[in-house]
Amino acid sequence: MAAIAEAKANNTGTGPCDMFSPSGKAVPARWQYQDAVIKGYQAQLAAVCRQFATCVYDNGALYGVRVTADDLAPDGEHLSIAGHQTSRPRMEGLRLRLLIAPRPRVGLQDEPVAWAEAAR
């Protein structure tokens, strides 16, 4: 991200999500904070998914993909075409898991009940 001027500018400041200080230096504590937040989101996704037999969660498949500046779009927030190629092997595995995932046996009328149970 530091190699992409627009991305660095968009992530520079004093807020908890700013990866770089106003002087442009990386702030490791903020990188660690964002890492913890993302891992927390993933844990919640996994916990909810475990409650449903037909749920397929990717276990954060893309989170471990090592990307370079070439893999990011100019905004540094999205993958470039090269980045999609870099992430493709992990996405292929997920696609195959989704294709063989069990299908729900309940009708749409039963979905609110499942969501209510998950909210408890």
Residue 4 near residue 76, CB atoms below 8 Å: yes
Q: Is the pLDDT of residue 77 over 60?
A: yes
Phi, psi of 67 (to 5 degrees): -115, 155
Q: How confident is the model at residue 60 (pLDDT cuts 50, 70, 90)?
A: confident
Kindly report the pTM of this predicted structure: 0.65
DSSP 37-77: HHHHHHHHHHHHHHT-TT----TTTTTT----GGGB-TTSS
* Region at 60 (left for phi over 0; alpha for psi -120 to 50; beta for the rest): left
Tell me the three state secondary structure of residue 79.
strand
DSSP class of residue 12 equals B
Q: How confident is the model at residue 65 (pLDDT cuts 50, 70, 90)?
A: confident
